[in-house]
Amino acid sequence: MSNFLIYGLRDPVTNEIRYVGQTARGIKRASSHLAPSNMIGSDTPKNAWLLLLVANGLKPVIIVLEYCPNGDALNSAESRWCAVGRAALGQRFTNATDGGDGVPGFSHSEETRKICGAASRKTWADPESVVNSPAFRARLSAAAKEHWADPCIKAKQSASIKATLALPDVKEKHCKANKIAQSRPEVRKRNSESRKAAMGSPEARAAVSARVKLFSSRPEVKARRSAAARAISPETRKRRSVSAKAWYSTPGAREALSIAVRAGTNTPKEKARRSAAARLQWARKDVRARMISGMKATASDPAIRAKRSSTAKAQWARPAIKSKMINTLIATLTKRRPV
Domains of the chain: which residue ranges? 5-126, 250-300, 311-339
Render pLDDT for 44-89 as a digit per residue (tens, 0 to 9): 888 888 888 888 888 889 899 988 888 888 888 888 898 888 888 8
Distance CA 26, CA 156 (A): 16
CATH number of 5-126: 3.40.1440.10
> How many other C-beta atoms can be found within 10 angstroms of the C-beta atom of residue 270?
12
> Who contacts 1 (Cβ-Cβ below 8 Å, separation ≥6)?
67
C-alpha 18, offset from chain centre: 38
DSSP structural state of residue 24: S
Q: Assess contact for 140 and 36: CB atoms under 8 A.
A: yes
Low-confidence ranges of the chain (pLDDT < 70): 1, 36-42, 100-108, 131, 335-339
Render pLDDT for 143-190 as a digit per residue (tens, 0 to 9): 778 777 888 878 877 887 888 778 888 888 888 888 888 888 888 888
Q: Assess contact for 163 and 154: CB atoms under 8 A.
A: no
Instruction: State the pLDDT at residue 37.
Output: 63
DSSP structural state of residue 60: P
C-alpha 37, offset from chain centre: 20
Instruction: State the pLDDT at residue 338.
Output: 46
Instruction: State the pLDDT at residue 107.
Output: 60
Instruction: State the pLDDT at residue 339.
Output: 46
SS3 assignment for the chain:
CCCCEEEEEECCCCCCEEEEEEECCCCHHHHHHHCHHHHCCCCCHHHHHHHHHHHCCCCCEEEEEEECCCHHHHHHHHHHHHHHHHHHHHHHCCCCCCCCCCCCCCCCCHHHHHHHHHHHHHHHHCCCCHHHCHHHHHHHHHHHHHHHCCHHHHHHHHHHHHHHHCCHHHHHHHHHHHHHHHCCHHHHHHHHHHHHHHCCCHHHHHHHHHHHHHHHCCHHHHHHHHHHHHCCCHHHHHHHHHHHHHHHCCCCHHHHHHHHHHHHHCCHHHHHHHHHHHHHHHCCHHHHHHHHHHHHHHHCCHHHHHHHHHHHHHHHCCHHHHHHHHHHHHHHHHCCCCC
Instruction: State the pLDDT at residue 256.
Output: 81
Q: Which residues of 15-50 are buried (b: 16+ CB within 10 A; e: fewer)?
A: eebbbbbbbbeeeebbeebbebbebbbeeeebbebb
Strand partners, 218: none
